[in-house]
Structure formats: structure tokens, C-alpha cells
């Protein structure tokens, strides 16, 4: 279709050729100069936990004294002791990543 517009455009002009073939001119120009494919790099949030911090959270959640507690309860007890490791949803994500929780 683009080739037809270009060959016809040489004879009667691009604007008229696009009208006759019912093709927007923007489509013709976009086909002439395609945009380069964007390669998206996975971004790591600046406040994301490091591997060592995730391991520390996993070890803490697996301690014997927290064995029968939900992450929300572990979080509350650690806060009472003045220790903050991460948020409750992050605790759940770490447990899920280690296959220690069923979702």
C-alpha cells in the first residue's frame, strides 16, 4: 500500500495520492522512517532491598521464635523491639520467592 502511494505520489502528489487511496499521510511518513525499537532495561527501585538484606529478612522470619507467627505479627514484634527490617508486603514477597508460603 505504501509503495502504491509513493509511485502515485510522484505523478499526482503525495497529499492527493493519500486521499485517493484513503491512507493517512502520517502513516506514509511513519513507514518511510520507522522508529528504532526501544530496549527497556528492567529498573531496580532505588530503595529495593539488596540480596543480603533479603537473606537477613528470610533468616529472621525462619527463626524458631517466629515459627508460628504470620509476617504481620513478626513485623509488630520486631517494631516493639526497635528493629525494622522491611514492610509486611515485602516479607510476604520474600517468603513467596523462597517458596515458603502458598499464595
HEC profile of 7-55 = HHHHHHCHHHHHHHCCCCHHHHHHHHCCCCCCCCCCCCCCCCCCHHHHH
Has this prediction a pTM greater than 0.85?
Answer: no
Check: CB of residue 28 under 8 Å from CB of residue 2. Answer: yes
pLDDT in tens, 25-73: 888 888 888 888 888 888 888 899 999 999 999 999 999 999 889 999 9
Amino acid at each position: 500500500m505504501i509503495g502504491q502511494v509513493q509511485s502515485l505520489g510522484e505523478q499526482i502528489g503525495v497529499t492527493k495520492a493519500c486521499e485517493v487511496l484513503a491512507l493517512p499521510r502520517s502513516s506514509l511518513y511513519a513507514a518511510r522512517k520507522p522508529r528504532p525499537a526501544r530496549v527497556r532495561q528492567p529498573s531496580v527501585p532505588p530503595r529495593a532491598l539488596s540480596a543480603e538484606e533479603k537473606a537477613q529478612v528470610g533468616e529472621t522470619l525462619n527463626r524458631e521464635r517466629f515459627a508460628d507467627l504470620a509476617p504481620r505479627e513478626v513485623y509488630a514484634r520486631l517494631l516493639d523491639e526497635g528493629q525494622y527490617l522491611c514492610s509486611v508486603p515485602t516479607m510476604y514477597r520474600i517468603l513467596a520467592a523462597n517458596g515458603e508460603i502458598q499464595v
